[in-house]
Chain A
Amino acid sequence: MEKKIKSDYYTDLDETLKKYGIPEEAKDDVDETMQCIEDMILYFTMTTLSN
């Protein structure tokens, strides 16, 4: 089973909805936008900022 990332500096999709007060019904939409950026920033942190 995939390990969950628990951090003050990252939110998964459910946490993103909760943090920004977005209805559960918009989950798929948020995944395409806000969660995508959340994940991209994590990638940026682990790769670009490591260089």
Chain B
Amino acid sequence: MIKERLSTEYKTKLFTDIYSGNKPDRVPEKVGVNACAALELAGYDLRLAQYGITKVLDATEKINAKYDTYTLIGTWPGTPWLHKFTGSRTNVMGEDGFIQHPNVHGMEADEYDLLLADPLKFIWETVIPRLFTEFDAPPMKAALAMAKTIKANDYINGKIAQGNMSLIKKYDKSAFPTFVGISRAPFDYLADYLRSFTGALVDIRRKPNEVLEAVNLITPLMIKAGCPRHVETPSRLTRIFFALHMPTFMSEKFFAKFWWPSFKETVWAIYDKGFGINIFCEENWMHLLDYLNELPPGCELQFEYGDPKTIREKVGDKHLISGLFPVSLMKSGTKEEVCDKAKEYLDILAVDGKYIFNFDKSILTAGQINWDLFQPLIDTVHEYGKN
């Protein structure tokens, strides 16, 4: 059978249609494959290649030349050059070349008064020098390190973005950007960047009022972050991405009190500015699904675990559903099992044009899956996903 060649325009329209509330011609697919997997597949040493641009783009080209997906895969590796310029203590390259996140935190339990007085001032004057050694320096040396950081971020990421655009055209991939900006749930920001996972969970019992006030003050910062200025005309096609971290580690009582209200406020404010919303619901959200219906319509909800039928029934009318396909099956399963599982998800979720095929989690390493199963899976989604 001769395989159909779909154009960039056709693939792009699948996404613009679904995010505009129209039923796409077939199920869009945007599977997560990390650049580290692409670098390994191309035979590059992660410990070295991530410091450059050429090998990163070459690895991205090789994986996209080989596999026919709707979106560009194998993009955006770690940014060790950024972590060196900042002296990051939160992102450190491990011996295997993957970026590790040591258990460090930027704020102590007795520093809420400083945070509450002026969150940004506290972040700049206390947290940043504490977590980034290059900024814990005399003023002009810290200023020089910050200048390098900002310039590197713009220049290197700009070069990679340019390279990716060329590959999108060359390999007929969708030109629709997955997202244009990132924000965080205010409580997740407090936990992940300031107090640490365990610290935040202790604080909600010992310092509940301080935590609530902190989350309240972080909320406008997350709203501002979620309305990036480089997007001149926000629309539902300009999507802001949230990865949700803490909810499944909290009791529902604490979730409802400390986590949910500020997140809901953040999402609605960004939506009201015109943006679309993409949310990755990490872990298993089955007991929290009803809350998601309090969000504005048309959010893309990517799930990691859960029952697709229940998810479809509870949130599928209001939102777009994505994720869930168990990437681990591509390691342990046969070709038939993998393709049948994809059809099973499509049968349940692709009933009314509000489903985007994706994995439960991104492929991070080359050894994580049997690559002989990758294209058969993608071909199944492309063919079986036709309306």
Q: Which residues of A contact B (CB under 8 A)?
A: 2-10, 36, 39-40, 42-51
Contacts and interface: CB of A to CB of B under 8 A. Distances in A.
Contacts of A43: 181, 224-225, 228-229
10 contacts: A4-B220, A7-B120, A7-B121, A40-B229, A42-B224, A43-B229, A44-B153, A45-B124, A46-B221, A51-B91
Contact of A2 (B82, B124, B269): B269
A3 B82 contact: no
Nearest to B217: A3
A43 B153 CA distance: 13
Contact of B150 (A3, A5, A7, A44): A44
Interface range, B side: 35 or more
Contacts of A6: 118
Contacts of B193: 50
Nearest to A46: B225
Nearest to A4: B220
B223 interface: yes
A49 B230 contact: no
Interface majority SS on B: helix, strand, loop or mixed? helix
A40 B82 CA distance: 18
A50 B120 contact: no
Contacts of B192: 50
Contacts of B325: none
Nearest to B272: A2
B120 A9 contact: yes
Interface in B61-88: 79, 82, 86, 88
Nearest to A51: B91
A10 B224 CA distance: 11
Contacts of A48: 82, 149, 153
A36 B123 CA distance: 21
A2 B265 CA distance: 10
A7 B193 CA distance: 19
Contacts of B219: 3
Nearest to B193: A50
Q: Give 5 nearest A-B pairs by CB, closest first.
A: A7-B120, A3-B220, A46-B225, A9-B120, A39-B229
Interface in B198-243: 216, 219-225, 228-230
Contacts of B216: 3
B128 interface: yes
Contact of B121 (A2, A9, A51): A9
B182 interface: yes
B303 interface: no
B259 interface: no
Nearest to B78: A51
Interface string B180-191: 011110000100
A8 B123 CA distance: 11
B220 A2 contact: yes
Contacts of A5: 120, 220-221, 224
B223 A40 contact: no
Nearest to B265: A3
